[in-house]
Amino acid sequence: MSIGEPRERWCRLKGNLLFLMKNKSSEASEVVILERCWVVEFKSKTDVSIILKFQSGEPDLYIEAASKPDCEAWAVALGEANSEGLRNKIQQLRRLIMEIKEERASEEAHQFLPSSQVDSLGEPQFTSIQRIANEPKLEFSLACKGLVAATRDRKLNTFIQVSVVHPAEHILTRYSSTEIVEGTRDPLFLTGVTFPPEYPIYEETKIKLTVYDVKDKSQDTVRTSVLPDHKEPRADVGRSFLGCATFRVGDLVKSKEQQLTLTLRTSDGGKTVGTIEVNLVKMGEFEDGEMDHITTDAQDQKFLCFLPLKSCSCGFLSATCAHNTENLERMTDRRAKEECALVRECTAPEGLSGKDNLPSLNAVLKNPICKLYRFPTSDNKWMRIREQMAETTLSFHVPKELINLHIKEDMRRNQELKDLGELAPHWDNMRKSVIAHCDQMLSMYQDTLAELGKHTGSSFKSSCSKGEKTLEFIPINLHLQRMHVHSPRLKDALYDVITVGAPAAHFQGFKNGGLRKLLSKFEAERRNTGYQCIYYSPENTAKAKEVLSNINHLQPLISSHADLLLNSASQHSPDSLKNSLKMLSEKTELFVHAFKDQLVRSALLALYTARPGCVLKKPAVPRSSAEESDDLKHQDHSSQIKRQDSIPHHSEYDEEEWDRVWANVGKSLNCVIAMVDRLLEKDNSSKTKEGESDPSAADCKVLHAGGDWYEQLYPLVITLKDCMGEVVTRAKQSMAFVLLQELACGLPQCLMLTLRRDIVFSQALAGLVCGFIIKLHTSLHDQGFLQQLHTVGLLVQYEGLLSTYSEEAGMLEDMAVGISDLQKVMFKVIEAKSEDFLPIITGRREHYVIEVQLPAKMFELLPQEIKEGKLLRMYPVLFNVGINEQQTLAERFGDTTLQENINQENLELLKEYYNLFTEKMPPDCLPHFQEQNDLKGLLENLHQNIQAKRRKNVEIMWLAATICRKLNGVRFTCCKSAKDRTSMSVTLEQCSILRDEHQLHKDFFIRALDCMRSRQTQGALNESDDPETGCLTDNKPTSRHFYPVALLLVSSHLLVVWLILSLALLLAKYQ
């Protein structure tokens, strides 16, 4: 039953009514109408359960049968009794009748394949289509002529539905559809059809083109929701069937003119209703003809626009492929249903060959989909646009790598806290409390990593999962959006935008704001904390973490170089000895410099006072950094170094003891250097005297005394290691004590803020890594960009579309901090040693290094500086402009200070990057295919727009994006879920680029924009089938999908009236 424990009932099925009776002879106690529902049957051998789910949102009906055969029989009966099932069966029979008539009427129909196409095992063999590597198997454009309307006065509003008949299965599969062209009987469709390289299409494959006339546009009845292969959509009263035609792929590919003219006939095959032209498309060739026809009729042909559905997260989406359509949730945020792999544009037109570039890019891209358009230019030529979108495996790979690093870092910190030694009772209790809380957080990180390791299926997180705890580290809807433009007179160009939901901790919520507010509030409270602990500023705690990181990094390196020095001494190799000494000296100097900070000294004193029964010999007077800089004086002598105790004890502690211990490392190194110099000098003098015929006995004694280098260096190297170990022990304990204070002063808020910051940073980093890898692949032959990359760094511009009202204000605060934290990330390009090209992440909080792997052929194209491992800096900037209805409320009645402050702060960062760019780079490094606008003028214009503080000033977005593209930057577009607002922004940007950079015909700007945003061309979902809403309803009005235009046009007076009436109704309700 629907709720509670199962109750025994007798069931009787009559038509589409299910009667439930308490016993076999009693009357029905309940009646269930099997309308718009479906059956879920469990496939296990032992389970005899059936669940009935209803699209109306009613509770599920749970049914158990007596046995497995009964369960299967009831599942079939209930499925057939469903009115939708009956309707689909009727439609399927109608389709089969129509196909049979077409087969009989067509001279090219073959019931059996020729014997030459059958292998020895009896399996049919099909002819593959010849194509260029990594290009789509088949692309074609469509146009109709002479369409016949039902009445003479009617103007047709037509679109074409494309279906595929697979030769092996003989099943009709709906693939895609064009946009709707309104008001003409000779429509020319701008949306083409493309089949990806992996799609199973052959010369024997048949393609069916069905032309529909849209009658009732206001009800948005042109819906082509994705259905399984064996189902047919319900008949819509708002559209009518005009005609259809079928052709074999081989006929189109082998035709001399690469064009087919097909006759459109009615379903019975008797009446001709017009013709349809199919033109084979190749991106490298230009299409001539019909341009005059399009230009002259542009004003007469109206275009019916359907704005993106809530389920569509971008505006340029692939034609829908119904091949493998099991996962409806994938359609929600993938913008269309496409399980098969599609073409990837991996390189710029002058880039590497597909064979060299594709494997490494395939490692990070997954399930791309594409769409083909043709638009006219201002000089009456055609340009072709291929839009592509791809998921990325980095959505899960980067967070998992990051969480693993967090676990290791936290385990190391917990161990360092335990190694602090004996503490006074107050401090010891504090340490126990901190370790207990840290262990809980560590366990949570480990559980999250384990859950992510179990994840299978989609490689991205859909927006409906943004509140799931196990996926809170995963970015929302992270996709690559690419537009490949092929113009007749201009150079081909690629435009990439990374779309992703705003990095934010959705599971934790925004009741108290986001990170920006929470961190500021926490720091203010910590200054005035009531805990009995020592306050260290965020700068000091960051310094403590840096010191600990340097210790863990440098100590093993120094030990390794010391061993290499002894090995060179044992081999009596002067050159190797010099090189080993040089490396040892460099690393030891870095090691000594890492502790040249007042923080270490003051922390040692604080740690000593936390010991049981501490006694100070001298008063603790903090010393200035100027005094400290004169402490270490290197002396060139080889006197014996006296070691100190590892931990200061009670009255034995001397404040200046640390300086002596610290200086001993430098003195030990000087002893090693002096000994090596002496050995090399004696070796040179002995070689000089070997030329004399009769060496003296004294010379022999000198050679004998200096002969064994290893024995003379070994004690000095051991002393150096011991002194270094002494410094490491004390420094680790002192810095761990500083971290103890940081954690103790803010439990548990400190750990929760760290968790929130880790979540937001993980989402932001996954997008950044994706953007960097894509940009590097597409610019491998751009020497100017590569020089800019290692000389200046990479500009990363985020376009935010969040409002400053309610929860989105908290999301914006999270996003601002997460993007700012990306400044701590450095990239390094390395040569891949295996077939695994996924990036490697190393480092700690506050400092990460991302190692991007490239195949050998691609790696050789890099400048020497990058190949030698130079770290590459990132310059992330965020500009946000809220554009939805909530921003209207914020501007009228709320506060937009947050947005203004973020834009102003990031403008300064952008100016800093520009100044650095102009200092180090020549002006010819800017993209050649764009006009060399004055970047300084653009920056000044951006500054003026930010200072103007106008409402919904989208000019800020356009200026920031233009500056980013001209500075070879990476573009990101973000809103709450990377769907509606993101799609509107990206499609507008694309069409603006086509107009400004590629001479898109001015009369076709709106039509191109509508075409890219058209729900019909995306193989759109019915709103009634929108899984994003969580329930299924029928025939909902679609006006709410016209983006926030309706509310944006509401005047302030009407808005105030609406608010007053709402308040009055609310008060009346509770009186």
Predicted confidence band of residue 447 (pLDDT cuts 50, 70, 90): very high
Q: Name residue, tokens 């908290």.
A: 810
What is the C-alpha to C-alpha distance for residues 796 and 877, in angstroms, rounded to an integer? 6
Q: What is the mean pLDDT of residues 827-856?
A: 92
Bond from prior residue into 556 cis (ω within 30 degrees of 0): no
What is the C-alpha to C-alpha distance for residues 448 and 400, in angstroms, rounded to an integer? 9
Predicted confidence band of residue 1052 (pLDDT cuts 50, 70, 90): low
Q: What is the pLDDT of residue 233?
A: 40
On the question of pLDDT at 404 being above 80, the answer is: yes
Q: What is the pLDDT of residue 109?
A: 39
Task: Render pLDDT for 651-678 as a digit per residue (tens, 0 to 9).
Answer: 455 667 777 787 888 888 889 888 888 8
What is the C-alpha to C-alpha distance for residues 952 and 1045, in angstroms, rounded to an integer? 13
Name the phi and psi angles at 1025, rounded to 5.
Answer: -105, 20
On the question of pLDDT at 800 being above 90, the answer is: yes
On the question of pLDDT at 953 being above 60, the answer is: yes
Predicted confidence band of residue 12 (pLDDT cuts 50, 70, 90): confident
Task: Render pLDDT for 99-119 as a digit per residue (tens, 0 to 9).
Answer: 665 555 444 434 434 433 444
Q: What is the pLDDT of residue 655?
A: 63
Considering only 479-483, 486-490, 570-574, 773-777, which range has the smallest mean pLDDT?
486-490
On the question of pLDDT at 168 being above 70, the answer is: yes
Tokens of 179: 């946009």
Q: What is the pLDDT of residue 545?
A: 86
Considering only 73-87, 88-102, 220-234, 797-811, which range has the smallest mean pLDDT?
220-234
Q: What is the SS3 assignment for 436?
A: helix
On the question of pLDDT at 867 being above 90, the answer is: yes
Q: Are residues 1012 and 987 in contact, defined by beta-carbon separation less than 8 angstroms?
A: yes
Dump the DSSP string for 478-543: -EEEEEEEE-SSS--EEEEEEEEE----TTT-STT--HHHHHHHHHHHHHT--SSS----HHHHHH
Q: Are residues 797 and 956 in contact, defined by beta-carbon separation less than 8 angstroms?
A: no
Q: What is the mean pLDDT of residues 1041-1065?
A: 53
Q: What is the mean pLDDT of residues 817-836?
A: 93
On the question of pLDDT at 512 being above 50, the answer is: yes
On the question of pLDDT at 647 being above 50, the answer is: no
On the question of pLDDT at 936 being above 70, the answer is: yes
Q: What is the pLDDT of residue 289?
A: 47
Q: What is the pLDDT of residue 345?
A: 34
CA-to-CA separations, 1030 to 438, 471, 1023, 1033, in angstroms, rounded: 37, 19, 11, 10
Can you give the three-state secondary structure of 263-312, one letter per residue? EEECCCCCCEEEEEEEEECCCCCCCCCCHHHHHHCCCCCEEECCCCCCCC
Q: What is the pLDDT of residue 227?
A: 36
Quick one: residue 513, left, alpha or beta (phi over 0 = left, psi -120 to 50 = alpha)?
A: left
Considering only 147-151, 383-387, 394-398, 978-982, which range has the smallest mean pLDDT?
147-151
Q: Using only C-alpha atoms, what is the Rg of the chain?
A: 36
Catalytic residue list: 975
Q: Name residue, tokens 């019931």.
A: 111
Q: What mean pLDDT, rounded, does the chain reach?
A: 76
Predicted confidence band of residue 234 (pLDDT cuts 50, 70, 90): very low
Q: What is the pLDDT of residue 460?
A: 84
Predicted confidence band of residue 679 (pLDDT cuts 50, 70, 90): confident
Q: How do 172-177 and 239-248 pair as beta strands?
A: unpaired
Predicted confidence band of residue 1032 (pLDDT cuts 50, 70, 90): very low
Q: Are residues 322 and 403 in contact, defined by beta-carbon separation less than 8 angstroms?
A: no
Considering only 174-178, 251-255, 454-458, 821-825, which range has the smallest mean pLDDT?
454-458
> Which carries the bigger pLDDT value, residue 356 or residue 641?
356
Q: What is the pLDDT of residue 6?
A: 67
On the question of pLDDT at 900 being above 90, the answer is: yes
Q: Considering the entire predicted model, what is its pTM?
A: 0.73
Considering only 646-650, 771-775, 934-938, which range has the smallest mean pLDDT?
646-650
Q: What is the pLDDT of residue 1067?
A: 66
User: What single-letter amino acid sits at 599?
Assistant: L
What is the C-alpha to C-alpha distance for residues 9 and 63, in angstroms, rounded to an integer? 9
